[in-house]
Amino acid sequence: MNFKLKIWRQKDAKSKGEFKTYEVTNIASDTSFLEMMDILNNDLVHKGEEPVAFDHDCREGICGMCSMHINGHAHGPETAVTTCQLYMRKFKDGETITIEPWRSAAFPVIKDLVVDRSAYDKILQAGGFISVRTGSVVDANCIPISNADAEESMDAAACVGCGACAATCKNGSAMLFVAARVSSLAKLPQGRVEGARRAKAMVAKMDELGFGNCTNTGACQAECPKSISITHIARLNREFLAAKLKD
């Protein structure tokens, strides 16, 4: 297969970026999208040009590192997959593919397709944990948790922190990301103790870091590679309101 690639190139955070067009040829249909990028980059190196910088690591959809906007969609046109799990057989031979970095005020571009997502770490540092010291805990089976609660907690905990939700949201809101963590811990008895403080601290940090407000468009859920449901946002809102009422 052959493709024309329109790729965002930007030297560094301060420089102005622009689209550049490249061609790749003889791509096997079972090549992954990132392997196609590897082939392009190897060609560029041979030509003495700088390869396209992009974030990636595990290449099995779990580390959350890959982060491309492909043809207008976070992680490309397929639903429920990360960019690294996207295969070229999903594209048409000869197609022009547009590749951009995440576009979000809170995720500034570092180079080409690489953005700075440290804002997500900061939100979690504000309260996305249970304050338990190593070793000062009870036997695991002393905390029975219903199968349904554990499953729901796990549904939310599947978030890979890739940033697709905020990059997709027209308001640049990180609500789905925040909700996933708050909801996952809220479903567990261990997480209840600090529930109110957690919800308030994480939402406050999100606002402080320049993420926008949620207006329930549902775009985040549609683009989330792990299909995290916006029902978790509803739970976050409940947690947040309950916490505020206690103030």
What is the Cα Rg of the chain in Å? 20
Of 116 and 207, nearer to another protein (C-beta) is 116
Instruction: With residue 97 as reference, give the H or E element that holds it.
Output: strand 96-100
CB of 94 to another protein, least distance (A): 19
Read off the tokens for 201. 């601290």
Of 89 and 244, nearer to another protein (C-beta) is 89
Instruction: With residue 197 as reference, give the H or E element that holds it.
Output: helix 195-208
Alpha-carbon span 215 to 117, nearest angstrom: 22
Q: How many CB atoms lie within 10 A of CB 234?
A: 13
Asked whether 107 and 166 are in contact (CB, 8 A), the reply is yes
State the distance between the two ends of the chain, measured CA to CA, in whole angstroms. Answer: 61
Query: Torsions phi, psi of 108, nearest 5?
Result: -65, 145
Of 171 and 221, nearer to another protein (C-beta) is 221
Of 133 and 246, nearer to another protein (C-beta) is 133
Of 13 and 105, nearer to another protein (C-beta) is 13
Of 149 and 171, nearer to another protein (C-beta) is 149
CB of 7 to another protein, least distance (A): 15
CB of 46 to another protein, least distance (A): 6
CB of 19 to another protein, least distance (A): 19
- Strands 73-74, 69-70: parallel, antiparallel or unpaired by DSSP? antiparallel
The angle that helices 175-186 and 231-246 make with each other, rounded to 10 degrees, is 70
CB of 58 to another protein, least distance (A): 5
CB of 38 to another protein, least distance (A): 5
